[in-house]
Amino acid sequence: MKQGIHPDYHDIKVVMTDGTEFITRSCYGAKDATLNLDIDPKVHPAWTGGQQQLMDRGGRLSRFNSKFGGLFATK
How many domains does the chain fold into? Answer: 1
- What pLDDT does residue 3 have? 87
Look at residue 66 and tell me if it is in a domain: no
- What pLDDT does residue 7 have? 87
pLDDT surpassing 90 at residue 68: no
Instruction: Please enumerate in sequence order all residues whose Cβ is within 8 A of that of 13, keeping only pairs 6 or more positions apart, or say none.
Output: 21, 22, 23, 32, 33, 34, 35
Look at residue 1 and tell me if it is in a domain: yes
Virtual torsion, Cα 9, 10, 11, 16, nearest 10 deg: -50
* pLDDT, tens digit, 9 for 90 and up, residues 8-47: 899 999 999 889 999 999 999 999 999 998 888 777 777 7
- Domain, as residue range, for 33: 1-49
Burial class (CB in 10 A: 0-12, 13-18, 19+), 8: exposed
Look at residue 69 and tell me if it is in a domain: no
pTM, 2 dp: 0.54
**CATH code for the domain in which residue 9 is found:** 4.10.80
Look at residue 29 and tell me if it is in a domain: yes
34 forms beta bridges with: 13
